[in-house]
Structure 1
Amino acid sequence: MSSCCKSGFNWHGTPTGSESKVGNTNTKAYVTGDNKDAAVMIIHDIYGWTFPNLRLLADHFAKEANVTVYLPDFFDGEVIPPDTLTDPEKRAKFDTMAFIGRHSKDKRWDQILEAAKALKANYKKTAAIGYCYGAWACFRLGADPSVIDAISMAHPSLVEKTEIDNVKVPVQILAPEHDPMFTPELKEHANKVIPTIGVPYEYVYFPGLTHGFAAKGDEKDQKQKDGLERAKNSAVGFFKEFLHSS
């Protein structure tokens, strides 16, 4: 993963949800919203389930898309302090690749799948949205319509072409222009392959923006603020369409 994955900005605001667990699993989660029929699972980036920006996004999704949102802990309690985003010394000391080694796909997939199945057992319709690290898991979940009804992702990381090829549910990709993780080659592959699979597909392009903007963009920069709000609104519209239709 690129160093851009640990760069960004902290947002202002206070999350309004609570901490609980995902269904009958032992996985802790930030939970917000009260819809009994539709749920969204946020699969976090490397900053984990306590990252305030993602909790604020969860609150927005719950209110604006009328869903119950779960932001589970898929890193076994390991949390990167949010001020690592803005502290150059802490960013330099943080070993991204060692972190990813501790939380590789092989080590985290079973827990993510278990959480998705637990939500599906309790809600009529479910979706997942992944930010950076979380995107590969969304694609894997999307290979089985019995597990998830729709998947969205922003500036995907660690995604393989075969994971794109196997998707079988509606897909949304929120893609910035500049992204060393979701490369031009992967973008081209997604845009060629997914339209041939026969599932609804929405590719939302953000010119001038970079990897991480949807979860860590600078609110004080108008272009980034407009982009992160557009990404949020796009996800809300996607959830409304595929979680509340008959």
Structure 2
Amino acid sequence: MSSCCLSGFKWDGQPQGHEATLNNQGYYVAGSNAEVAVMMIHDLYGWTFPNIRLLADHFAAEVGATVYVPDFFGGEVLPADIINNPAEWAKLNLPEFMARNSKVVRAPEIKAFAEFLRTRHRRVGAIGYCYGGWAVFQLGAKTNSGSPLVDCIAAAHPTFLEKEEIRAIGVPVQIIAPEHDPQFTEELKTYAVTEIPKLGVPFDYQYFPGLHHGFSVRGNRQNEAEIKGMERAMRAAICWFKEWLVVA
């Protein structure tokens, strides 16, 4: 875990969806398509972060899906206002925070929420940003039953992703990869583009030269290169979900 997982910019805008609960777990929802759903798995700023909710609104409108942003930090969120304040980052106890929100702790509830969506929608996709990147790979893993938890995934600058999770993917997968990323390293990038094509699943690798970890969810809307990168990343993911989730 490094400062790149906290740095960035909070976007202006008022999310248009609403909050709901499932077994005392909060989630944000946008859209109302009974057939198609997308689960959006948040970064370290959690499910209340305005940026992730604005993205959910946009995906709901453009994909034509119901988009869910569940809380996978047990009600705990990092305050969005610290995003441009490294002095405040130093006050956080990130090792303890991550211990409370490790893969072992959160993977079961992430799986449970995907199972819940399967009961409500015919087609389900998942996109993970930063922290959420490892989670969507687990959701898209091959299963013995032959019925995956989701129908396709996208991962934007994933954090904590391991080679075993890449190798286990069993559904169409898209990766959004900036050039500079201490979490999704050059080694992991090379491994993904080498190994995934051997797995027999559709694969889309979107590379963003000059951009940094977190750009697609915490990019600077005053920076032309980052604006273009954010817009391209959104378009790519939207096209991906329309390709694999929306059946004419």
Bin of the TM-score, shorter chain as denominator length: over 0.9
Residues 54-78 of structure 1, C-alpha deviation per residue, up to 9 Å, x if partnerless?
0000000000110000000000110
1:33 Cα deviation from its structure 2 partner: 0.2
In structure 2, how many angstroms separate the alpha carbons of the residues matched to 1:245 and 1:153?
Answer: 22
For residue 198 of structure 2, what is the amino acid of its counterpart? Answer: T
Residues 194-217 of structure 1, C-alpha deviation per residue, up to 9 Å, x if partnerless?
001010000000000000000000
* Corresponding position of 1:206: 208
1:17 Cα deviation from its structure 2 partner: 0.2
Note the residue ranges of structure 1 that are not aligned, 5 or more in a row: none
Aligned 8 A contact 1:176 1:205 in 2: yes
Residues 214-233 of structure 1, C-alpha deviation per residue, up to 9 Å, x if partnerless?
00000000001111111111
1:88 Cα deviation from its structure 2 partner: 2.5
* Corresponding position of 2:64: 66
In structure 2, how many angstroms separate the alpha carbons of the residues matched to 1:169 and 1:27?
Answer: 27
Aligned 8 A contact 1:3 1:96 in 2: no
How is 1:75-94 mapped onto 2 (pairs within 5 angstroms)?
75-94=73-92
1:119 Cα deviation from its structure 2 partner: 0.2
In structure 2, how many angstroms separate the alpha carbons of the residues matched to 1:129 and 1:27?
Answer: 19
CA RMSD of aligned residues (A): 1.0
In structure 2, how many angstroms separate the alpha carbons of the residues matched to 1:119 and 1:26?
Answer: 16
How is 1:1-246 mapped onto 2 (pairs within 5 angstroms)?
1-22=1-22, 25-143=23-141, 144=143, 145-245=147-247
In structure 1, how many angstroms separate the alpha carbons of the residues matched to 2:140 and 2:3?
Answer: 28
Q: What percentage of residue pairs aligned between the two structures are identical?
A: 52
Normalising by structure 1, report the TM-score.
0.97
Normalising by structure 2, report the TM-score.
0.96
Secondary structure class of the residue paired with 2:176:
strand
In structure 1, how many angstroms separate the alpha carbons of the residues matched to 2:24 and 2:140?
Answer: 23
Aligned 8 A contact 1:39 1:69 in 2: yes
Note the residue ranges of structure 2 that are not aligned, 5 or more in a row: none
In structure 1, how many angstroms separate the alpha carbons of the residues matched to 2:125 and 2:108?
Answer: 17
In structure 1, how many angstroms separate the alpha carbons of the residues matched to 2:221 and 2:37?
Answer: 27
Secondary structure class of the residue paired with 1:126:
strand
Secondary structure class of the residue paired with 1:14:
coil
In structure 2, how many angstroms separate the alpha carbons of the residues matched to 1:157 and 1:69?
Answer: 22
Aligned 8 A contact 1:132 1:157 in 2: yes
Aligned 8 A contact 1:132 1:155 in 2: yes
In structure 2, how many angstroms separate the alpha carbons of the residues matched to 1:118 and 1:26?
Answer: 14
Q: Which runs of 4+ in 1 moved over 3 A?
A: none
For residue 120 of structure 1, what is the amino acid of its counterpart? Answer: R
